[in-house]
Structure 1
Amino acid sequence: MARNVITYGTFDMFHVGHLRLLQRLRNLGDRLIVAVSTDEFNAAKNKKAIIPYEGRAEIVGSLKIVDQVIPEHSWDQKAADIKKYDISVFGIGDDWSGKFDHLKVHCEVVYLPRTPDVSSSALRRMARALDPEMIERLREVHAVLDQMVRNFE
């Protein structure tokens, strides 16, 4: 029987900390499912990603260690996802330590150490320090580059 692992996150401005977390999670089982927060869910959390959901999901899904990407629509979906995907391990960064212990009735819950000196929150703080117009231009550049890549394929 396959040992399925699941994690959740926004995965905005994908960086080496994200990669290392996903690698460690993949090593805990046979399959890794990653739930990427939708733009709508981020808005409900008062977060706004630089990269839209579709791009973030595509980046995460392109990793050979990730077997499946699903959308994260709400805080409440985790228990249902654990049952639906026959999850053995729910894993997430230790910055969430203790917050998901209620899921232990469904599966093993692990909190993995973060990569030192790497943080999306720090990157977002730097982005907020930029002129809001600059942030919007970054989103526009991302959209243009994304379209160029799609046209090239």
Structure 2
Amino acid sequence: MKIITFGTFDMFHIGHLNILERAKEQGDRLIVGVSSDALNFSKKSRNPICDEDARMRIVSALKCVDEVFLEESLALKAEYIQRHQADCLIMGDDWAGKFDHLADLCKVIYLPRTPAISTTQLIEVVKEIK
């Protein structure tokens, strides 16, 4: 079974690794869409700390990840699912319900996020240290 997931994966941390490893456990092949710098800015009104090439390289290096591509638009999720022939979309539960409309293309699962860790939180900690 092919699993597809998406994320920014900025300042890669244990929460990212946890969700990717749990996603891989759901199938044979894990395909990851890494949000482009422009998409990240449109979602969060800030540029990522690490650029898209670095983030794609980090995610590609993980043994649980089989394929990585650049996600350029949230509106193209259905196209990405079809292009990669994914059987299941897995997202963090912070997106719960937002992709249920894709259930006619593939199974949709929302996994719990790792408690007490987020990229936004890490960025705030680093700002305080300066």
Q: Are residues 1:29 and 2:36 paired? A: no
User: What do residues 55-82 of structure 1 show as CA deviations (whole Å, max 9, x unaligned)?
Assistant: 0000000001100000010011110011
Q: Are residues 1:7 and 2:5 paired? A: yes
Q: TM-score when scaled to structure 1? A: 0.80
Query: Structure 1 CA distance, aligned partners of 2:39 and 2:127?
Result: 20
Paired residue type of 1:5: I
Paired residue type of 2:59: V
Query: Structure 2 CA distance, aligned partners of 1:68 and 1:47?
Result: 26
**For 1:36, what is the secondary structure of its paired residue?**
strand
Match of 1:87 in 2: 86
Give the drift of 1:42.
1.4
Query: Structure 2 CA distance, aligned partners of 1:130 and 1:35?
Result: 32
Match of 2:72 in 1: 73
Q: CA 1:57 to 1:115, structure 2 compared with 1: closer, same or farther past 3 Å?
A: same
Query: Structure 2 CA distance, aligned partners of 1:37 and 1:127?
Result: 22
Gaps of 5+ in 2: none
Query: Structure 2 CA distance, aligned partners of 1:80 and 1:125?
Result: 35
The percentage of counterpart residues that share the same residue type is 46
Match of 2:51 in 1: 52
Match of 1:19 in 2: 17
Match of 1:62 in 2: 61
**For 2:55, what is the secondary structure of its paired residue?**
helix
Query: Structure 1 CA distance, aligned partners of 2:32 and 2:122?
Result: 21
Aligned residues: 129
Q: Which has the larger Rg?
A: 1
Paired residue type of 1:75: L
Q: TM-score when scaled to structure 2? A: 0.93
Match of 1:141 in 2: none
Which structure has more relative contact order (CA 8 Å, sep 6+)? It is: 2
User: What do residues 107-151 of structure 1 show as CA deviations (whole Å, max 9, x unaligned)?
Assistant: 0000001111111121133345466xxxxxxxxxxxxxxxxxxxx
User: What do residues 30-55 of structure 1 show as CA deviations (whole Å, max 9, x unaligned)?
Assistant: 10000001111112221311111100
Gaps of 5+ in 1: 132-153
